[in-house]
Amino acid sequence: MLATIPANDPTLKSWVESANVKQCDFPIQNLPFGLFSVEEKEPRPGVAIGEQILDLKAVEEEGLLINSKGAFASSSLNEFMALGNASWSATRQEISNLLLLDNPVIRDNHSLRAKALVAIGHAKLHLPFQVAEYTDFYSSLEHATNCGKLFLDPENPLFPNWRHIPIGYNGRASTVVVSGTNVKRPLGQINPPTADSPVFTLCEKLDFELEIGAVVGVPSEMGLPVTVSQADEMIFGFVLLNDWSARDIQFWEGQPLGPFQSKAFATTISPWVVMREALAPFRVEGPKQVPAPLPYLAQSTPNNFDIDLTVSLRADDQSEATTITETNYKYMYWSSAQQLAHHTSSGCAMRSGDLLGSGTISGPTKSSLGCLLESTEYGQIPFSLADGIERTFLEDGDTLTLKGWCQGEDYRIGFGEAEGTIR
C-alpha cells in the first residue's frame, strides 16, 4: 500500500508527465476544480492536471473517491462545495494519491485511464459553479488612493470610512461568464462635458478591473454573523476575475449609490477554481491596517496570498499581446476573509456559490495598476501597445487576458487565464 503524502508536498510528481514540466500551471500540488464537457455532452466536474483533465465523475463511479459523497454526479461544483472543509481536503488528498507517480491504480489500467483523462485542448470549459450572488469590493489601498486623487481631494483621497470597513456593492450574478466569452460593449447614459443633458449611447470609456474572486463553499444562516477565521474556512477557493467597467456610464450614474449598469453587463472569471488549501504555502501578511480594525474584523493569521498577476492586451489586428499590468494580490488592504466576515455581520446569509470580487488589485508602481482608469488617469495619458498602437480605454476587437500564479521553488500554482474580447 502506498504511503499517503500530503497533497501540498513540494516534492510530489505525477504519472501525468505534462504536470511535471517546470512552470506548468497545474502540477499535482494544485489540482484546481472546474467543469468541462466533450462532444456536446453534459458538463461534469474535473480537476486540471498538467495538460489533462481528470474526470471526477468517472473516477467517483469507479469507487475511487469516497469523501466526495457522490457530489461529482452533479453538473455543477456547488454540491461538492457545500460539503465543507473536511470533505474538500480529504477528496483533494484522494485525488492527489491517485495521480501520484508511483500509484498504478489509474496509471496502469489502460481502459480506466482512457475513460478518466481528457486533454484540456479537446474539452469545452464551462462556468465552474453556479454563481448564487456576486459582491464586488473596493479593497486595494493603492487603487482607492489613486481614484480618490483623480475625483476627490488629492490631499485626502480616501473616504473617512475606508480604513474602517471593507467597502462593497452587490453586483449581478446573471452576467458572470467564463473565460473565452465575448463581451458586448454596453449601452448606457453618459453626460458628455460638451452636452447640456445626458445621452443614451454606447460606452466610450470601457475598462477592465484586475481582481481575484473568492468562492464561498459553506453557506451561513441568516441572522448569524461569522468570525474572520470562520469566514476563511467557508471559502472553497479562488478564481481570476475581470470586473469589466463602463467608466463614462459609472461617472454619471454613480452618485450617490455607486455602480449599477456600468458594472452589470459582464464579469469574466477563469474556468478553474484553485482551492484555498492549495494556496496555503503562499499565505502572507497583508499591509498593516491603521487604525486597527474593529474586533469583529481582527485577524489572527496571515490571510493574504502571494499571487503574481498580469494583464495583457491584444488589439484585433495584432498577433501578439502586450503586457500592460504586473502586480500581486498580497497588496490588498482588506483580505477575502475580512470581506466575507463583514458581509455576514448584519446577519446577511451566504450561499454556496457566492462570489466575492476582491476589488481592483493595484500595487505601488505605475506598471502595477489594475485598471486603465488609474494608468491613463481617466483617459488623459495614453499608453502604447506593440506596433505603436495607442490606447486610453478599450476598443472593439481588443482581447484582455488575466493570468495569475503562486511561484514555489520547483513548481507553481497557476490559475490559468481569464480572457474576453470586446465586440
Domain spans in the chain, listed from the N-terminal domain onward:
17-126, 134-421
Q: What is the pTM of this model?
A: 0.97
Q: For 315-342, what is the mean pLDDT?
A: 97
Which residues contact residue 138 at a Cβ distance below 8 angstroms, ignoring those fewer than 6 apart? 144, 162, 166, 167, 168, 359, 360
Condensed to tens digits (0 to 9), the pLDDT of residues 182-217 reads 999 999 999 988 888 999 999 999 999 999 999 999
pLDDT confidence band for 387 (50 / 70 / 90): confident
Query: Which pLDDT value is given to residue 4?
Result: 82
- Any idea which architecture 134-421 has in CATH? Alpha-Beta Complex (3.90)
Chain Cα centroid distance, residue 204: 26
Q: Is the pLDDT of residue 247 over 60?
A: yes
Q: For 91-114, what is the mean pLDDT?
A: 98
Q: For 37-50, what is the mean pLDDT?
A: 95
Q: For 87-91, what is the mean pLDDT?
A: 98
Q: For 3-23, what is the mean pLDDT?
A: 94
Q: Is the pLDDT of residue 1 over 60?
A: no
What does the longest C-alpha to C-alpha distance in the chain come to? 78
Q: For 11-40, what is the mean pLDDT?
A: 96
Written as nine digits, the cell of 214 is 473568492
Decide whether 17-126 matches 134-421 in CATH topology: no
Q: Is the pLDDT of residue 230 over 80?
A: yes
Q: Is the pLDDT of residue 338 over 60?
A: yes
pLDDT confidence band for 2 (50 / 70 / 90): low
Query: Which pLDDT value is given to residue 219?
Result: 98
Question: Which residue's C-alpha cell is 514555489?
Answer: 408
Query: Which pLDDT value is given to residue 3?
Result: 64
Condensed to tens digits (0 to 9), the pLDDT of residues 151-176 reads 999 999 999 999 999 999 999 999 99
Q: Is the pLDDT of residue 64 over 60?
A: yes
Q: For 27-46, what is the mean pLDDT?
A: 96
Query: Which pLDDT value is given to residue 36?
Result: 98
DSSP symbols for 18-78: GGGSTT-SS-TTT--EEEEESTTPPPEEEEEETTEEEEHHHHHHTT---TTTTGGGSSSSH
Mean pLDDT of the chain: 97
- Any idea which architecture 17-126 has in CATH? Roll (2.30)
Query: Which pLDDT value is given to residue 40?
Result: 82
**Cβ neighbour number for residue 326 with a 10 Å cutoff:** 15
Catalytic option among 110, 122, 143, 342? 143
Query: Which pLDDT value is given to residue 194?
Result: 85
Whether 143 sits among the annotated catalytic residues: the reply is yes
What are phi and psi for residue 89, nearest 5 degrees? -65, -45
Q: In this structure, are strands 267-269 and 176-178 parallel, antiparallel, or unpaired?
A: parallel
Query: Which pLDDT value is given to residue 46?
Result: 98
